[in-house]
Structure 1
């Protein structure tokens, strides 16, 4: 793809949870579409490697270390993005945990941990990103939910609950910030080939394969395919799209 005709040409996009999986693949897609990208995660090694890869390919990229569940970290990395690139046009809020097990099997600590990262973490990201975007009077945010946020399923009750909550945050933020021109949407991936999916295969034997078998396209998706959907939502091509939950699931939720 020629960056000169990319969807995100001359935009600055922050990618939370950008060290692997959907976040890393989406950052690569955004860069190919012409964006300058800031990648954030807790581990420096993978971030440094991805930024080096992008820079060697002629793209503008940087990274910052931070935990989405820590308010001070989120404020710092959002501020670092503006300091590095001069503004914030878009954000992908992707960092999340999964937790297998029936609801009656989960410990309180496990439940609290997944809620803290997936729900509170998304809210913290939204809060800081929106503060910057409201001051600028424009911006676009995409939160990563899941097909588990629009339907039920066995063995992932806490995870399902968090992804439903992400959709609620998305829709509320779209209403709150639409009047000043800020758009907030979500993508809802189905099974996507990522390290998280590999862990789910181990935790719920046969569960992933069963979902793929019931997917009309009969395959798992890729992080790049999620990134392409998010790139469109972040771009000016989607200028009248806000508050939507876009399935990227091979038809699983159809």
Structure 2
């Protein structure tokens, strides 16, 4: 694991930080030099373990971290998460909304159960919106970060950067994934609306949209659907799933000075999977 972007300072809040993309992203932020990270997850024990491990990768001598319990579908829980982070660190410069649930049904639309559809929308869509809203409120009250380059001197980076986790399913549909696909399309809608609404406060909001990523969530899918492994090898132009580092580094980029003019975008990280029907 090696982050290619140096952030240098700032405070990050990452949901879903106990495992998978969220955990790897937090490690990438620690390695990129942030001053502090709040590891937020419904699994607080897992978040605490990840926070402790992050100290191994931290490159900032002032680095600190905390673990925070959060249920992203609950408004009060989300607000407590943000309040706890601001109380501990004084501000939030980077927020990554990685918490969510995958497609655990596989039912085609005529057989789709309403309770499953409602649950996935509640977590993936409402949860993203609640986190964006609460974090943007906090960011709007703080002074902007600045960045000094050797070529052009000092410039403002704005009051914060938010990255929502979308998916290749934010752009394409797959049979038997109506709930998940709909929720990830909606994440793009949340992202674009938040980007416009928050621009006046100099807060950027973008989405990172990966295809299959080798995480515990994908491993659970492989256990449920044994043919998925071969499908990934056939469908992906690179004939494999992404490793978490490949996604985490892109998230760090979207929060970095290198991306300071990127706002409201959905960045596909899928090896070209969504470009066309891939023929092996």
TM bucket (normalised to shorter chain) is over 0.9
Residue 64 (1) aligns with residue 68 (2): yes
Residue 23 (1) aligns with residue 15 (2): no
Q: CA-to-partner distance for each residue in 1:142-163, whole Å, 9 max, x for gaps?
A: 0000001110111211100000
Q: Which segment is superposed worse, 18-27 or 202-211? A: 202-211
State whether residues 39 and 47 of structure 1, in contact with CA within 8 Å, keep that contact through their aligned partners in structure 2: yes
Q: Which has the larger radius of gyration?
A: 2
Deviation, structure 1 residue 22: 0.4
Q: Which segment is superposed worse, 200-209 or 86-95? A: 200-209
TM-score (norm 1): 0.94
State whether residues 7 and 237 of structure 1, in contact with CA within 8 Å, keep that contact through their aligned partners in structure 2: no
Name the CA distance, whole Å, in 2 between partners of 1:69 and 1:113.
9
SS of corresponding position for 1:253:
helix
Superposition pairs for residues 85-234 of structure 1, below 5 Å?
85-99=89-103, 100-101=105-106, 102-136=108-142, 138-234=159-255
Q: Which segment is superposed worse, 188-197 or 132-141? A: 132-141
Name the CA distance, whole Å, in 2 between partners of 1:40 and 1:209.
34
State whether residues 200 and 208 of structure 1, in contact with CA within 8 Å, keep that contact through their aligned partners in structure 2: no
SS of corresponding position for 1:191:
coil
Name the CA distance, whole Å, in 2 between partners of 1:139 and 1:11.
9
State whether residues 150 and 164 of structure 1, in contact with CA within 8 Å, keep that contact through their aligned partners in structure 2: yes
Runs of 5+ consecutive residues of structure 1 not aligned to the other structure = none
Kindly report the root-mean-square deviation, in angstroms, between the aligned alpha carbons of the 2 structures.
Answer: 1.8
State whether residues 17 and 96 of structure 1, in contact with CA within 8 Å, keep that contact through their aligned partners in structure 2: yes
Deviation, structure 1 residue 83: 0.9
Name the CA distance, whole Å, in 1 between partners of 2:25 and 2:191.
19
Deviation, structure 1 residue 56: 4.5
Number of residue-to-residue matches in the alignment: 253
